[in-house]
Structure 1
Amino acid sequence: MPVVVPIKILQGLLCVVGTYFLCALSVLIIRKIVSVPPEVSRKLLHLSAIVVLTVWLYAFADCRITGITIVLFAVAAHPILLFLLSTKGRFIKDRPTASSLSNISSERSPGELHKSLSASYLMFMLAVGVC
């Protein structure tokens, strides 16, 4: 495998992670500036998922690499999310991570964030397969 391929994969991953960061930051800024109801905030997160999927589809030249990176993200996201929810601010003083994540996601019921994340990654895989 030429050196160019891993560099292109890293560039694609950087684009995807950057898009995740920008979308989450945009939702947080909108929620801080404008008082939006929880349902509108949830819809902003759905719109962010569509933006991330679009970037994901175009960030990689090969659909197999796109699928592999989606699976890797899905496998890595759940343990990281469980860790952040389990710490409840123990490691970061004055910044309770669990409540911050709940505020961002506007969960209707406990555990909805995991279910939504799983559903979105499955939808991403389906979109990659179709596109």
Structure 2
Amino acid sequence: MSSIPPELSYTAEHEWVSAPDDQGVVTVGITDHAQQELGDVVYVDLPDAGTSVAAGETFGEVESTKSVSDLYMPVEGEIVETNDAVADEPGSLNEDPYGAGWLVKIRPASADALNHLLDAEGYAAEIA
């Protein structure tokens, strides 16, 4: 059974999004379900900070021993930070997808950018 923290928001493409911090920045990663489906992650390709992205746009990829999967941006905005540590240690996506395995931090283009995302219950239904 996959872990689905209730305080996060989710996409049907298996990305999670944190609530905005006091600067309005959200953190994005892949879900526990996604990392389990991928298997052992061996490579992560992420964009540079300062990159503007649209919701639904591909913003990188994750390569595992089983497959290569695109990463889809859950919200429109600007990437303010990329997790370089996950690029150096891609296995952290398998070990801690909601912690050390985060991917990027984004400043959403609007305050309501997260309104279309799934809550934990909705995501659980999506993967059931």
Task: Name the TM-score, length of structure 1 as normaliser.
Answer: 0.28
For normalisation by structure 2, the TM-score amounts to 0.29
Higher strand share: 2
